[in-house]
Amino acid sequence: MIKGIDKKLSYQPAPILELNDTRLNGLDLHLLLKCEYQNHPFISGNKWWKLKYNLEEAQRLKKETLLTFGGAYSNHIYATAAAAKELGLKSIGIIRGEKILPLNPTLAFAESCGMRLEFLSREDYRHKTEEVFIKQLHNKFGDFYLIPEGGTNELAVKGVTEFASSVLHETEFDYLCLPVGTGGTMAGMVIGFEGSKTILGFSVLKGGEFLNDEVKKWSGHSIDNWSIVEDYHFGGYAKTTKELEIFITEFETQHHVPLDQVYTAKMMFGVFDLVKKGVFKKGTTILVLHTGGLQGRSTREFNF
């Protein structure tokens, strides 16, 4: 019997909390938090939904090995390694950049899950989607199921769309806010909501204009209930500032909800800044999606 066949990822339903934040006093706004970071100890948040159908497809095709791509601090690498271990599959991570020892916590965890790490120069890594390059990987590693960088493909969007539909039945709200890295999760939420809610995606990348095209590509051009906010990247992917670190400390002290500096903290900072600027009308309910990625907190290699 092929390892991993008919096994499913464990999943823990995540609650929705109301945040009674002092910064909302007197504003007649309601702020809800979907705690999706609690859905799994390691394959948390949106990564669970993006991997769900990819893993089922790998099992259907009787693949014993998963191969994927990511940077040294990739939540996707971390989650894929954990998912492969849980399902009894092998995994290979193609990592952008040179190998640096000791491995950072993200890569050390992936390796501890049994993931084989292969490091590529940034120049070679740029060829990761080319047919010739993929063939070379097959020649080197044999048969595998390929999951793209960040996990975004049609099956990932399908999983997030399913999640979006479930959220609609959990609570009433006007806006959904979420962090955006590759656009796959945003696209799935757009499709799942079918135009019934306004969605604000907070880009964690500097120069994230391309994300609009990515969301359109995966969700279709007929739905226009969403927009990408590009003002809260704090210098770029995985970069942060003292201002953001202070915000994280204050937020966690008040609400006892952990944030990571790569994704969720940037979104939450942006939400409160838009509240301060009067973007949301009185009586509005805002649902923010905590997409997990808390393993990023262990890097603590900030570039102030």
Do 54 and 24 have their domain in common? no
3-state helix, strand, coil in the chain (%, to 5): 40, 15, 40
CATH (domain of 79): 3.40.50.1100
Count: domains in the chain = 2
Strand 175-180 and strand 16-18: the pairing is unpaired
User: Would you place residue 7 in the very low, low, confident or very high pLDDT band (cuts 50, 70, 90)?
Assistant: confident
Q: Is the dihedral of CA 173, 174, 180, 184 positive or negative?
A: positive
**Residue 166 and residue 264 share a domain:** yes
Instruction: Confirm whether 4 is domain-assigned.
Output: no
Q: What angle do CA 58, 152, 122 make, to 5 degrees?
A: 105
Whether residue 83 sits in one domain with residue 143: yes
pLDDT of residue 293: 87
pLDDT at 92: 98
Residue pLDDT, tens place only, 165-220: 999 999 999 999 999 999 999 999 999 999 999 999 999 999 888 999 999 999 98
- What is the spatial distance between Cα 223 and Cα 236, in angstroms, rounded to a whole number? 28
Summarize pLDDT for 220-246 with one digit per residue, the tens: 877 888 999 999 999 998 899 999 999
183 and 237, same domain (yes or no) = yes
Look at residue 304 and tell me whether its pLDDT is greater than 60: no
> The domain containing residue 268 runs over which residues?
16-42+153-298
| Assigned domain for 258 exists | yes
State pTM to two decimals.
0.91
Provide the residue type at 215 as one letter: V
Residue 3 domain flag = no
In a shared domain, residues 116 and 68: yes
Domain end (from 123, 151, 179): 151
Shared domain check, 50 and 35: no
52 and 85, same domain (yes or no): yes
Instruction: Kindly state whether residue 173 falls inside one of the protein's structural domains.
Output: yes
Which of the two residues, 302 and 46, has the higher pLDDT score? Answer: 46
Residue 68 lies in a domain: yes
Both structure tokens of 123: 């120049």
Please indicate, yes or no, whether residues 256 and 271 belong to a single structural domain of this protein. Answer: yes
DSSP readout, 166-188? HHHTT---SEEEEEESSSHHHHH
In this structure, the answer to whether residues 175 and 118 fall within a common structural domain is: no
Q: Are residues 72 and 161 in the same domain?
A: no
User: Is residue 142 domain-shared with residue 158, that is, in the same domain?
Assistant: no
The residue from 151, 166, 195 where one domain ends is: 151
Whole-number Å distance between alpha carbons of 202 and 175: 13
Confirm whether 178 is domain-assigned: yes
Q: What is the mean pLDDT of the chain?
A: 93
How far is it, in rounded angstroms, from Cα 43 to Cα 33? Answer: 19
71 or 297: which leads in pLDDT: 71
**Order of all β-strands in the sheet with 116-120:** 116-120, 90-96, 65-70, 145-147
Residue 6 lies in a domain: no
124 and 68 in a common domain = yes
Q: How much is the CA Rg of the chain, to the nearest whole Å?
A: 19
Question: Is 9 within the bounds of a domain?
Answer: no
Q: 115, 134, 151 — which closes off a domain?
A: 151
Question: 241-250, pLDDT tens digit by residue?
Answer: 999 999 999 9
